[in-house]
Amino acid sequence: MASIHFYLREYKSKSGKSQLYFSYSHDSRKWRCFTGIKIFPKYWNTDKQQVLPHHASASEINALIKSKRAEIEGITNEAAFKRIDPTVEFVKLTYKGITEPPKSFSDLYSQFIKDQRNQVSAARIKRYRTTYNHLQNFELFRKKRINELEDIDMKFFIDFENYLVDKKRLSWNTVAQQKTVLKTFMAYAQKLNLHNNADYQHVKAGEKKTEIIALSSEELNAIKQLELTETRLINARDLFLFQTYTGQRYGDVKNLRKEDIKGNYWHLHVAKSEERNKIPLTLGAKEILKKYGNSLRTISNQKMNEYLKELGELAGIDEPVNKFKWVGTKKINNYVPKWKVLTTHVARKTFITESLIRDLDVSFVKEISGHKSYAVFDQYKKFTDKFKHEKLNQAWSD
């Protein structure tokens, strides 16, 4: 038995309004279609499925409800006349004026990745694919496929998050990244008029701040002063120091070409944002470039991180640090020697820390590092506060 009913979503927007949608049912299957109208629940008559008369636009909205109901009933009546089963899929396609079968979620997501390949970095595309793999596994876990984009509602996001935390044991920030990617996909699909489900707009990614790990000037000097004989470690140290002197991502260091170096500047084409930046070269950075003929002998990120840990251990960088992570709302502490967490990211963070300690202007450091927001620099305040406290104690130690 086919039926159509109008409802307000239980989930409310920040304004307190709820979305009006109709639900078409047939043979235990349902199709929800949002009307694009939002009203306060107090104006909705659930029994009559109408807006109450004292709403300013009651007559217009009720006329729309009547029109939509008549349109769906017209489709089902015509189907009955032609002896066609008015399935959910048939009514939905007819209502949308689609004469060919709709693309599956898998096809739409593949098209999304294809369309974004020239818009974002390769690393971002890799993240998009990772999210898709998680979504496929989530479908298998709950034994229910994503049939249409309207299925990706607020409840879907909640269940997906719980799955990633409880079953996959992903950290809080990794889960936040997956939610952000899914929101990006839904926004892309909405721009193409593939759905009018606005639930994703109210989902908060909610990344938590992680501990910033940077080297002190003493630790950096310990690495610089190591007496090394192995070429691989000498090269890894030079790459790390070049990163520290310039404040750039290792991915951008790997892309450095001879023609990018012009005088005292590195004309950088930032891989992550596709922007161009002019990086001043310090004496230390220029010495390293000169050593390798105005170029660098880069290695894979994996090998680089492996060698950095080896350098850190040799330099005695063993201060305990907390490599904690959030799993759901639970913080899991993990104290390890600092050399065990040395990666290429530490070089960039060391550049920012040491620059701020040396009283370089925050806006200047932000421009060099390529950060978009000042908010990230709030996390570095503890380093500068610690330095000032030590200097003050030294000045008054007598």
What residue numbers bound the domain in which 50 lies?
3-96
Residue 373 and residue 281 share a domain: yes
Residue 140 and residue 227 share a domain: no
Taking CA atoms, 145 is separated from 46, 53, 78, 88, 238, in Å, by 31, 41, 30, 16, 51
Give per-residue pLDDT as tens, 101-150.
Answer: 667 899 999 999 999 988 888 888 999 999 999 999 999 999 998 988 88
Residue 88 and residue 112 share a domain: no
Range name among 78-92, 143-157, 181-195, 367-381 with the lowest pLDDT average: 367-381
Q: Do the domain assignments include residue 207?
A: no
Residue 127 and residue 86 share a domain: no
Q: Which residue has the higher pLDDT, 215 or 378?
A: 215
Residue 386 and residue 259 share a domain: yes
Confidence (pTM):
0.58
State the average pLDDT over residues 376-393: 64
Residue 373 and residue 227 share a domain: yes
First to last CA, the chain: 91
Angle of helix 154-166 relative to helix 172-191, nearest 10 degrees? 150
Alpha-carbon dihedral of residues 335, 337, 338, 339, nearest 10 degrees?
A: -140
Residue 316 and residue 232 share a domain: yes
Give per-residue pLDDT as tens, 145-165.
Answer: 898 888 899 899 999 999 998
Residue 364 and residue 275 share a domain: yes
Residue 274 and residue 151 share a domain: no
pLDDT at 102: 67
CA distance linking residue 393 with residue 383, whole number of Å: 16
Q: Do the domain assignments include residue 252?
A: yes
> Among candidates 66, 74, 29, which has minimal Cα distance to 48?
66
Q: Do the domain assignments include residue 67?
A: yes
Q: Do the domain assignments include residue 212?
A: no
CATH number at 117 reads 1.10.150
Confidence check: pLDDT of 8 > 70: yes
- The total of structural domains in the chain comes to 3
CA distance linking residue 267 with residue 254, whole number of Å: 14
Listed residues 147, 174, 202: the one ending a domain: 202
Average predicted confidence (pLDDT) for the chain: 87
Name the most confidently modeled range: 103-112, 298-307, 371-380: 298-307
Residue 370 and residue 245 share a domain: yes
Listed residues 150, 169, 202: the one ending a domain: 202
Give per-residue pLDDT as tens, 32-66.
Answer: 898 889 999 999 999 999 999 999 999 999 999 99
Listed residues 61, 96, 131: the one ending a domain: 96
Q: Do the domain assignments include residue 210?
A: no
CATH number at 235 reads 1.10.443.10
Q: Do the domain assignments include residue 182?
A: yes
Residue 235 and residue 172 share a domain: no
Count of helix runs (H) and strand runs (E) in the chain? 14, 12
Residue 232 and residue 163 share a domain: no
> Among candidates 212, 161, 165, which has minimal Cα distance to 182?
161
